[in-house]
Amino acid sequence: MADIINLRKARKAKARAEEETRAAENRVVFGRTKEEKRLARARQELASRQLEAHRRGKPAE
């Protein structure tokens, strides 16, 4: 004889598993390590300083 299952619980468990799978995929696609974020911020600051160094005259107010 087959086991009786609660369909509502089974449906919710399946949805949770699908959400976890999607979250794992997003972590791979969009996630960056702390070192990568720090490096990107440092490069942005360097580019900003170089741009300011090449301006002529006083900055516009």
| pLDDT (tens digit per residue) in 41-57 | 999 999 999 999 988 87
- The proportion of the chain whose per-residue pLDDT surpasses 90, expressed as a percent, equals 67
User: For position 2, what pLDDT does the model report?
Assistant: 84
How many Å separate Cα 57 from the centre of its chain?
40
Distance CA 43, CA 1 (A): 66
| Tokens describing residue 22 | 């999607």
Place of tokens 């449906």: 11
Distance CA 5, CA 13 (A): 12
Place of tokens 């009786």: 4
User: For position 14, what pLDDT does the model report?
Assistant: 97
Query: Whole-prediction pTM value?
Result: 0.51
How many Å separate Cα 49 from the centre of its chain?
27
